[in-house]
Structure 1
Amino acid sequence: MTDEAVLLPGERVNAGQRAADLYRAVWRWHFYAGLLVLPFLVSLSLTGGLYLFKDEIDRAVHSDLFVVEQGAATVAPSQIIDAATALVPGAAVKFTTPPDRTRSAEVTIVDAGGARQAVYVNPYTGKALGTLPDRGTVMWVVRYLHSLKFFGPYARALIEIAAGWSILLVATGLYLWWPRGRNGGVLSVRGKPRQRIFWRDTHAVTGVVVGGVIVFLAITGMPWSNVWGGKINEWANGNNFGYPAGVRVEVPMSDRKLSENGLTAWSMEQAQIPRSAHAGHDGHIAQDPHAGHGGHESTTIVEAAGVDAVGIDRVVEKFETLGLHPGFAIVLPNGPTGVYSGSVYPDDLSQQRVVHLDQYTGEPLLDASYADYGPMGRALEFGINVHLGQEFGLTNQIILAIFCLGIILLSVSAGVMWWKRRPSGRMGVPPMPSDPRILHGVVAILIIGGILFPLVGLSLIIILVIDVMTRRTVLSK
């Protein structure tokens, strides 16, 4: 015996039966969405909740490298770089200024084996404090777990699929939650923990509270996805070297993208880096004696047609004069036409900035800030900043952390509710509607979502095929 009561050809369905059929159809797809999404929601909530407090956690875990006692004056940036290369011989490729007066400076070095190392230096004494692999902090590990970057591009595609299906999960869940004249289980929880109704109500009430946040996090997380996010980024920022309107300047551009230098704002990922205009005919890069084994060129010593490059000390002074927020990173020139690329992405969106200086004159070749982004770029960056818990400070962090706990409760209650409901030895897939035609409208809505999000569409086709194949099997009994 099955849960289905399929109509024979020519039979009609009354209004009450149509409503019941629609409920069954929505419930069925809510089940499929949950089956796909809930494990990811738990993982994303745990890692995302931790990452909200990345600065606080990194500072505590790596206090021996990050935290310094404030002194009267700082040493020159060139001295800091010298201390770093003395500890880890190789080519310095990036210098990051301290974000506040109690933090160390960071120098990124490509060592003799080609590996990137982050060296932390006390800016007041010039003493090297120690090293970590580049992006080797505990919060970078959490970030890579959150995005599944550890597991390759195919695994990361699952995040994109989960984000799309989570929107479906919320939409179908809202329909199932709708009171329809009921009082219990709408905003209150009935029963006791040993009863299924307790977990059903807990799931429903928690879902209606956190549903909007799930949709927000899914949408604001999509820009980082491989397929959808990558294509949207190219479309939104792919013209005119990817720079926002208003900062287009007639300077020579290299083939190198800003995102190749390191972490950058989403709106600047397609931006190309300009070239220094005072070199190119007789210039060459002096080889670092420790970098030859890995094939890496030193970016700290540059000679070009007898023209001296501006030193890092003057460059840091220039960026400070231009008003870059403390904690800005400087990628050093990577050749005779390279530039000093300064960038900073603090919690305050208005302080986001990217400035490229000619390595021979020290003059700005391009200066872009958040105010220069287009409407779409500003909206997406705002959403991303809230997603990261940065836009509204500690309040932002605490509220999102509470919602992360709520999402975990939502997922756990769904699992317990399903376990208590499912027939022994069966999956407990919700029954088919008596009139399968009721599914057509639901599937049409799903197809529209699949067109908007291609990977979601592909997974939808797979689920549809499985559903058709198992419709009259034990999975639906």
Structure 2
Amino acid sequence: MGPVTIAARRRSLFWRIHFWAALIASPFAFIAVSTGMLYIFTPQIEAALYGQLERVAPQEARLPLDAAVEAARKAAPAGFEVLAVTPPARAGDAVRVGFGPPRPGAGAHAGHGEAAAATAAPAARPGQGGERITVFVDPYRGQVLGSQRDQDRFSEWARRLHSRLLQGESLRWMIELAASWMLVMLLTGLYLWWPRPGQPALPRSGARGRAGWKQWHAFIGVLLGVLSLAMVLTGITWSKYAGENVRALRDWSGQASPQAPARLHSMPQGQQLSYQQAWDRTRALVPDAPPQLTPPRGPHGVWRAGSADRRHPASRFDLVLNAYDGQVLYRAGWDDQTAFGKATAVGIPFHRGELGVWNQLLLFVFAAGVLFSLVSGWVMFFQRRRAGALGLPKLLPGAWRAAPPVGVVIGIGMCALMPLLAWSAAAVIAIEAALHWRQRRA
């Protein structure tokens, strides 16, 4: 058996696997990419939808942050407690105060007036029924601009549409299945495109019909390969089944992000820091990153602060302060992150288009390219398929035995990491075995 024969058998095998990957992934990938294109422009859409809540006319001086929180409490549902406060990052920003239903023991350990809030507003308010809400307050006038259930925001709706088609957890597996096979499609497509003698890497002008579709399908797929790899891998990190394996592997390898110790607490000594004092203390420690503040729960609670701006991953931080004197109990920033933590801190906001307009435009071009690859692949399939035939790419005899060892190892590793890929691959192998048995009997 000469090397050309082995190369031909391997190529037929990769064509076959590439076809199966496209067959399985295409419907779900088309939905994921289409809904993702909508999600890309979330900042602009939300600015148009919620500008009257989020933006204010700047004045000479802001009121203390506590005044805004107190105004928000009066507009919150009865009994709801403050979960987080996002002070204004810019002069025209509103204060955002997040509320949620009382947690176990909240009545006994409520801090900063949560217990009194139970009688501050009537029960029939937005957010009743165990849902979190955000109240927006003008930081200059102390005026409540409105409130909103977190689940009603466009970004939340678009996220649920993109990741689970608004169907809760029941359809989440479909997007994970698509991401798994898109990775297979990407790797096999790269192998098939890899230039061979007499085959140029760049598209040739003048090609028509299936040949024209084929060269542009391959070229655009490879051109977007790095982006595709980044998008698929970051999507897999927060998937349900493969994501659990990724996180387990991360923890096993010591790449988990640093976490504040669970039992950090404050010893009562006078009055707890006010919201304004906690904000001032946080800005003194981390002056270049807009914070989100989480108030202490009860006399032994602590102030917690973290970055409220996803556009600058290197500015992310976690801070825990003594509730009474502002002493730093825990602090972690970019330099304390693991390599995996840094990769996800950049990769996930990039996947969501949160790093700026350049990020959004790049993702839009990427999504358009993926849609072209999906559509052109099916155009070529129907151009090749003969009437009455399945249209499967021809598999040369001995193709499976010609699989390169490196490819086998990569395939086994991917299946071990991505359970849905393993189960669906087993189904594909069973179908292939049935087709082979039928062909031998014919």
Aligned equivalents of 1:189, 1:172: Cα separation in 2 = 25
Deviation at 1:140, TM superposition (A): 2.1
Partner of 2:139: 123
Q: Tell me the SS of whatever aligns to 1:308.
A: coil
Partner of 2:154: 138
Q: Which amino acid aligns with 2:375?
A: V
Asked whether the equivalents of residues 325 and 351 of structure 1 are also in contact (C-alpha less than 8 Å), the reply is: yes
1:55 aligns with 2:43: yes
Asked whether the equivalents of residues 107 and 120 of structure 1 are also in contact (C-alpha less than 8 Å), the reply is: yes
1:316 aligns with 2:279: yes
Partner of 2:370: 407
Q: Tell me the SS of whatever aligns to 1:343.
A: strand
- For normalisation by structure 2, the TM-score amounts to 0.82
Partner of 1:456: 421
Cα deviation 1:154-192 (Å, max 9, x = unaligned) = 533443333332222112112222343345784236545
Aligned equivalents of 2:248, 2:71: Cα separation in 1 = 40
1:81 aligns with 2:56: no
Aligned equivalents of 2:69, 2:246: Cα separation in 1 = 38
Q: Which amino acid aligns with 1:364?
A: V
Q: Tell me the SS of whatever aligns to 2:171.
A: helix
Asked whether the equivalents of residues 68 and 102 of structure 1 are also in contact (C-alpha less than 8 Å), the reply is: yes
Aligned equivalents of 2:12, 2:43: Cα separation in 1 = 46
Q: Tell me the SS of whatever aligns to 1:62.
A: helix
Q: Which amino acid aligns with 1:278?
A: M
Q: Which amino acid aligns with 2:212?
A: F
Q: Tell me the SS of whatever aligns to 2:152.
A: coil
Q: Which amino acid aligns with 1:419?
A: F
Instruction: Give unpaired runs (5+ residues) of structure 2.
Output: 101-126
1:98 aligns with 2:55: no
Q: Tell me the SS of whatever aligns to 1:423.
A: coil
Q: Which amino acid aligns with 1:122?
A: D
Matches within 5 A, 1:249-328: 272-278=261-267, 307-325=270-288, 327-328=290-291
Partner of 2:231: 217
Instruction: Give unpaired runs (5+ residues) of structure 1.
Output: 1-12, 245-267, 280-305
1:178 aligns with 2:141: no
- Which of 13, 22, 25 aligns to 1:37? It is 25
1:397 aligns with 2:360: yes
- For normalisation by structure 1, the TM-score amounts to 0.76
- Which of 325, 330, 338 aligns to 1:366? It is 330
Deviation at 1:106, TM superposition (A): 0.9
Cα deviation 1:244-268 (Å, max 9, x = unaligned) = 3xxxxxxxxxxxxxxxxxxxxxxx5
Asked whether the equivalents of residues 255 and 339 of structure 2 are also in contact (C-alpha less than 8 Å), the reply is: no
Matches within 5 A, 1:139-154: 139-148=155-164, 150-153=166-169
Aligned equivalents of 1:79, 1:420: Cα separation in 2 = 68
| Cα root mean square deviation, aligned | 3.0
Aligned equivalents of 2:237, 2:437: Cα separation in 1 = 40
Identity of aligned residues (%): 27
Q: Which amino acid aligns with 2:223?
A: V
Cα deviation 1:423-459 (Å, max 9, x = unaligned) = 3244412122222543554655422321243432232
1:375 aligns with 2:339: yes
Partner of 1:446: 411
Asked whether the equivalents of residues 196 and 420 of structure 1 are also in contact (C-alpha less than 8 Å), the reply is: yes
Cα deviation 1:198-246 (Å, max 9, x = unaligned) = 32233122112112221122223332222333343355458999663xx
Q: Which amino acid aligns with 1:455?
A: L
Q: How many residues align?
A: 409
Distance 1:122 1:237, change over 3 A: farther
- Which of 227, 241, 246 aligns to 1:232? It is 246
Deviation at 1:39, TM superposition (A): 2.7
Q: Which amino acid aligns with 2:242?
A: W
Q: Which amino acid aligns with 1:34?
A: A
